[in-house]
Amino acid sequence: MPKSYVNEARRRVGPKRARIRPVIERLATDHADATIALRFANELELLVSVMLSAQTTDVNVNRVTERLFQKYRRPEDYLAVPQEELERDIFATGFYRQKARSLRGTMQMLVDEFGGVVPRTLEELVRLPGVARKTANVVAAELGMPQGIVVDTHVRRLSQRLGFTRQEDPVKIERDLVKLVPRDDWGRFPHLLIWHGRRVCIARRPLCEDCVVNDLCPASRV
């Protein structure tokens, strides 16, 4: 799109600081059911689910964890079986060798350093083997202590379309978003963008005519 159109669109919708609250409020009304799609019953299951969700769908993870969590209830349970057995149990989530290694490393550290309890700070979470910043952000947010904003493919695309960031790199996008999004909304903001991205602002064919924020979006096609 020519630069002049982009600049004109940005002028039309106004500054992002003025748009962020109405965008959040309208998306929250439109996607009142927007929450994490992974199923878990406690902090350990949350951590495991998020770790397994890399490179696969939440539906797929839920299918695997339904059985997994009956067999593995404590960090020690993941260490009590041979690595190959754990690999078989998580096989359907893909990248099962790497994921099994990360799970066992994480469980070992939970036992050795955290008294078997999932830590709550981002600094501690990213020390767990195989837990990157995005995973740590998801876990911290679900534990009610968001310390950053989760940036996945939907959050990235929608933040760019809505003119909240011009960055491509997830870390830089997160840096822009934490300056813009009110702290109280750090937890729910990614869920709202993810659900809006799945239902309306679809990657290839955004349904701008049905979008509740189309008057606040510089990328709107209506």
Residues 6+ apart with CB under 8 A from 98: 130
Neighbouring CB atoms inside 10 A of 201's CB total 25
| Binding span for ligand SF4 by CB under 6 A among 27-35, 37-45, 128-136, 201-209 | 201-209
C-beta of 138: minimal distance to ligand SF4 in Å?
A: 23
Check if the beta carbon of residue 103 is closer than 8 Å to that of residue 80.
no
Q: Which of 93, 135, 159, 220 binds ligand SF4 (CB under 6 A)?
A: 220
C-beta of 152: minimal distance to ligand SF4 in Å?
A: 16
For the annotated catalytic residues, the residue numbers are: 134, 152
201 binds ligand SF4 (CB under 6 A): yes
155 binds ligand SF4 (CB under 6 A): no
Give just the sign of the alpha carbon dihedral 188, 175, 153, 5: positive
162 binds ligand SF4 (CB under 6 A): yes
**Which position has the token pair 């299951």?**
45
Per rule CB under 6 A, count of chain residues that contact ligand SF4: 13
217 binds ligand SF4 (CB under 6 A): yes
**Which position has the token pair 């996945």?**
152
154 binds ligand SF4 (CB under 6 A): no
C-beta of 209: minimal distance to ligand SF4 in Å?
A: 8
**Residue 90 three-state SS:** helix
Q: Which of 161, 174, 188, 195 binds ligand SF4 (CB under 6 A)?
A: 161
Check if the beta carbon of residue 146 is closer than 8 Å to that of residue 186.
yes
165 binds ligand SF4 (CB under 6 A): no
Give the integer Cα–Cα distance in Å for 82 and 80: 7
Give the integer Cα–Cα distance in Å for 130 and 146: 20
Residues interacting with ligand SF4, by CB under 6 A?
Answer: 161-162, 200-201, 206-208, 211, 213-214, 217, 219-220
